[in-house]
Structure 1
Amino acid sequence: MGPDDVDLAWLCGLLHDIGRFEQLRMWGTFRDSESVSHARLGLTILEGAGLTGAELGDGEGLLPRFTGDPAWASVIKPAVGLHSDLRLPDGLDPRVRAFCEIVRDADKVDIVRVFSQGECEAILGLAPDEFARGGISDEAMVGFRERRCLGPDDRRASLDGLVGVICLAFELTSDVADEALGERGYLGDLIERPFGLSPRFADPDTRSKWDEIARAMSWR
């Protein structure tokens, strides 16, 4: 990429989670399942559609504060609005898709980082003793074995969110992102000592599934 496109990618990354602030203010949570899609909310904030208030003005979006270039705006808006979707839609302009994939890859790596460095209660809402007694659903394991990201219907047990984060590694689109994930050790830390806790789970079924996950991901 040339320097202008590097700057554009940087700005997409800077703005991709702009919806998180309003999400937390309005719903008191970062969980999309308990509020709204933070990506769609971010797009709404940038566009200003239907928003009013002292910070935004009457329906004025925030994007003009960052760029007045329509060509940049046409890339930033889908990069923000689509970054948390399970799949990108067909028919995207190739240039737009490239920037969307950059943001999505970086976001996946960062989510693994957050999980590897965070605390169980803050991330999963489970106390350490609850984590030790946690379960992994058969649906989550099907997704893992198919080497794909998990959708909402695949997350049924208390530890499925953790399995879902590990599955993010399967759908990185660039070698750069894959190398970054490996070099920083986030995934290995998450598997060997999730949240700094022992993965020797009380439930034999959970232990067996976690051992399968650890073996399959050992190459990373």
Structure 2
Amino acid sequence: MIDFKKAHQAFETYLDSYNRKDDKIRLKIIHTYGVMTYSEEISRRMKLSSQDTDLAKIIALLHDIGRFEQLKRFDSFQPDTMDHAAYGVQILFEEGMIRQFIEDPSWDSVIRTAIALHSDYILRSIPHPQTQLHAKLIRDADKLDNCRVKLEEPIETLLGISPKELGHSQISPHIADAFFHNQCIESSQRVTPMDYWVSYIAYFYDINFQASRDIIHEKNYISRIIHRIPYENPETKTHMKQMEIHLKRYFGNLGTNFGTCSF
């Protein structure tokens, strides 16, 4: 049994070491609780057991615990500054912090694997079915709340430039090619600001469950994220229109009807 009151208190205590007024720290605190909400919602829609629902929530609470130290040291989300997933695994399981959040060690292997792999470019096959389930679930919940982040947080906080500057940027040809081949974007391949924005949309190719796709549809996340930016670069505007059509067609082939696109 997972005591969420205790886990929440331990998480809040951990956060006391960081500047909660910092925009990036604040963003990640809100994101953590948002991922917990989506983990519970996906679990409910999939009719998972109460045990698996609790497990999904604790994984969500801890999945980005390494981010806070990354931001404290480097003031950056970029993967070349720190592997936040690996650092999270280190402090939780190698340094023993996990016992502050959950006393029962029975689920350590599932939690550790899900956190370790939650931000990998591609999720490898995992032989253990329950571990595979939770490794996929946290990736979906993380992406769903990242949709909210991309819609609510200032572009300046996310990318360090204004929406207008972002809209003037071009998409690198290799990034567009990957997108139209239904591929997620490797972080090391991003060059321009628009490459980063496209990578946030391309992660829809890595959604694992129909329940998650249904939420994306219901909240109209694809169009809302794409249309958030004023694309003053004509070539970029054309590319984004094509990407919206392509991505909705891709989801349609998976059984999710997004209807028509308008730009």
Query: Which TM-score band applies after superposition, normalised by the shorter structure?
Result: 0.7 to 0.9
In 2, the alpha carbon distance for the partners of 1:193 and 1:158 equals 14
Determine whether 1:104 maps to 2:151. no
Tell me the equivalent position of 1:95: 130
Q: List, as ranges, runs of 4+ consecutive aligned residues in structure 1 with deviation greater than 3 Å.
A: 217-220
TM-score normalised over the length of structure 1? 0.85
Gaps of 5+ in 2: 1-47, 250-257, 259-263
In 2, the alpha carbon distance for the partners of 1:117 and 1:185 equals 14
| Per-residue deviation, 1:218 | 4.8
Tell me the alpha carbon deviations over residues 20-56 of structure 1, each in whole angstroms, 9 at most, x when there is no partner. 11111222222223x1111111111101x3xxxxxxx
Does structure 2 retain, via aligned residues, the 8 Å contact 1:143–1:150?
Answer: yes
Identity, % of aligned positions? 32
Bigger fraction of residues in helix: 2
Structure-to-structure mapping, 1:156-167, within 5 angstroms: 156-167=191-202
Which has the higher mean CA deviation after the structures are superposed, 23-32 or 7-16? 23-32
Does structure 1 retain, via aligned residues, the 8 Å contact 2:170–2:236?
Answer: yes
Q: AA paired with 1:205?
A: E
Structure-to-structure mapping, 1:183-202, within 5 angstroms: 183-194=218-229, 198-199=230-231, 201-202=232-233
In 2, the alpha carbon distance for the partners of 1:16 and 1:110 equals 13
Tell me the equivalent position of 1:56: none
SS in structure 1 at match of 2:193: coil
Tell me the equivalent position of 2:244: 214
Tell me the equivalent position of 1:14: 61
In 2, the alpha carbon distance for the partners of 1:88 and 1:128 equals 32
In 2, the alpha carbon distance for the partners of 1:18 and 1:72 equals 18
In 2, the alpha carbon distance for the partners of 1:158 and 1:8 equals 36
Tell me the equivalent position of 2:79: 32
Does structure 2 retain, via aligned residues, the 8 Å contact 1:23–1:30?
Answer: yes
Tell me the equivalent position of 1:42: 88
